A and B are shown apart, each in its own frame.
Chain A
Amino acid sequence: MSNPRLSHSAALILKALSLGYRYGFDVMEVTGLPSGTVYPALRRLERDALVASRWEPEEDAVASQRPARRYYEVTREGKAAALAATERYPLLAHLVPEKHA
């Protein structure tokens, strides 16, 4: 399957997700993109099967006394697309720092 051509914003979001940022608010903070860009882009990436979402386990959230979050993970196709996007936008790798656990 050929990689879909991603916009710079979508590539940046995909890069952030591939570096370990897992939810919309987190992606917004690290990329500096506005919420009006990030959330619809996440929907599009999920529709195109480049990312998949799942709910955080309820018990983890309860233990931290906060509501469960919706986590996004990059799929195999998404990893290939992120790699292609990094070649297309070489500065992308410098824009998002790797997430430390």
Chain B
Amino acid sequence: MSHLLPSPLPPFDRYLLSVMEKFVPASEREEWLLAWQSELWHKHHLARRTQFAFPAPDLTTGLIRDALWLWGDGWRRTFQGTATLCLAVLLSLFVLAAAAGLVLNGSWQSLASSLADQFKRFLVEVPLILFVTLAISPRRHTDQSATSRKLYWLKRQLFLGAKTSLTLLLMFLLSADLCQPMHAATPNVADFLQIFSFTILALVGLRWALHDHGQRCKQCLRSLASPTPIGRPSHNLLEWSGSELICKQGHGALSIPEMETSWCESSEWVSQSPSWDRVAST
């Protein structure tokens, strides 16, 4: 689509458009440019018509914010729910917790020496916490097509490993930061509180990590969306009831039963047949 302007835009508007169009995702750039050329032209046309009646409203802020909104929305669509975003957020929180520890301790040397003993305890506590978390983990998922997807399985395990490690390290730093102020006065109480708070935080964190992992696409690792209740809970003995989540990329659906029964104990991941990929791509 191309629109010819009856008269050219002022140089400032042309310059602003050329600068801001770089922020707009390529797929939407042409339409954005046409829409804004049209809006700006109409604004100047109105200004010429009503030169002395009232000033034409300024569109500069709208143009800039519109381009930035599209830029942000493009990033949101690209990264929302992805494994990369999840790990990046955890890493950012970890860096923040380390920075808070640095402020509380005063120097890197002091921080390292105060964490050294706690880290030894951390190495002992982690296997126990992992064991408890896995033992009380409520559901396991079955993948109907797991046999032919070794690469996806490996990707999932690597992501789970990275997420779990980051979560545990984050909780360790948080518990150390929480107890640091009382360490000088009552070291024994502070040590006890650090162990206690780390255990609680790590259990909650690991529980979240496993829950989050279970609700991700088994192929692309994005968070599943559109939870839909299916069946009636009052008919649980007669038919399946629960909720279903789908992968927005179309890789499959996860069915989670409302209640675990002898005939439906676990959630079930149903991959979309590869033949649908061809349909989706056309």
Task: State yes or no: do A and B come from one complex.
Answer: yes
Query: Which residues does A use to contact B, with CB under 8 Å?
Result: 23-25, 28-29, 34-40, 43-44, 47, 55, 58, 61, 65-70
Cβ of A25 and Cβ of B69 under 8 Å apart?
no
What residue of chain A has the Cβ atom nearest to residue B62's Cβ?
A: A35
- Which 5 pairs show the lowest CB-CB distances between chains A and B? A35-B62, A36-B61, A39-B66, A39-B62, A67-B38
Given pairs A35-B61, A40-B65, A70-B35, 12 additional interface contacts (CB within 8 A): A23-B39, A24-B39, A35-B62, A35-B65, A39-B65, A39-B66, A43-B66, A47-B73, A67-B4, A67-B37, A68-B38, A69-B38
- Point out the residues of chain A lying under 8 angstroms from B73, CB to CB: 43, 47
Which of A24, A34, A66 is within 8 Å of B45, CB to CB?
A: A66
Kindly identify which residue among A24, A29, A66, A70 contacts B6, using a CB–CB cutoff of 8 Å.
A66
B41 interfacial contact with A, CB 8 Å: yes
Interface membership of B57, Cβ < 8 A: yes
B5 within 8 A of A: yes
Contacts A35-B61, A40-B65, A43-B66: A25 and B39 contacting too (C-beta < 8 A)? Answer: yes
A55 B65 Cβ-Cβ under 8 A: no
Given A66-B45, A67-B6, A68-B3, do A34 and B38 touch, yes or no (CB 8 Å)? no
Q: What are 7 sample pairs from A and B whose C-beta atoms fall under 8 A apart?
A: A25-B39, A35-B58, A36-B64, A37-B62, A40-B65, A61-B3, A69-B39
Query: Could you say which of B4, B46, B69 contacts A43, with CB atoms under 8 Å apart?
Result: B69
What is the interface size of chain B, counting residues whose CB is below 8 A from a CB of the partner?
Answer: 29
| B42–A69 CB distance below 8 A | yes
What's the least CB distance linking B46 to chain A, in Å? 8
A34 near B61 with CB under 8 A, answer yes
Q: Check A24/B37 contact, CB under 8 A, given A55-B1, A69-B42.
A: no
- Report Cα–Cα, A34/B5, bound state, in Å: 25
- Shortest B280–chain A CB gap in Å is 20
State the Cβ distance, B84 to closest chain A Cβ, in Å: 22
Contact with A along B199-232 (1 / 0, CB 8 A): 0000000000000000000000000000000000
Question: B99 at the A/B interface (Cβ < 8 Å)?
Answer: no
Q: Which residues of B contact A47 (CB under 8 A)?
A: 73
Interface pair B3/A28, CB less than 8 Å apart: no
CB < 8 Å: which of A28, A36, A70 contacts B38? A70
A-side contacts of B4, CB under 8 Å = 67
Q: Is the CB of B62 within 8 A of A38?
A: yes
- Known: A25-B43, A67-B3. Is A36-B62 also a contact (CB below 8 A)? yes
How many angstroms between the C-alpha atoms of A73 and B6 in the bound complex?
26
Contacts of B38 in A (CB 8 A): 67-70
Instruction: Decide: B66 and A28 in contact? CB cutoff 8 A.
Output: no
**Docked pose: A68 CA to B31 CA in angstroms:** 12
Among B1, B31, B45, B57, contact of A35 (Cβ-Cβ < 8 Å) = B57
Q: Mark B60-80, 1 if CB is under 8 A from A, else 0.
A: 111111100110010000000
Most chain B beta-carbon contacts within 10 A, residue among A25, A34, A65: A25
Could you tell me the distance between the alpha carbons of A25 and B46 in the complex, rounded to whole angstroms?
10
Which among B41, B45, B46, B61 has the highest number of chain A CB atoms within 10 Å?
A: B61
- Min CB distance, A35 to chain B, in Å? 3
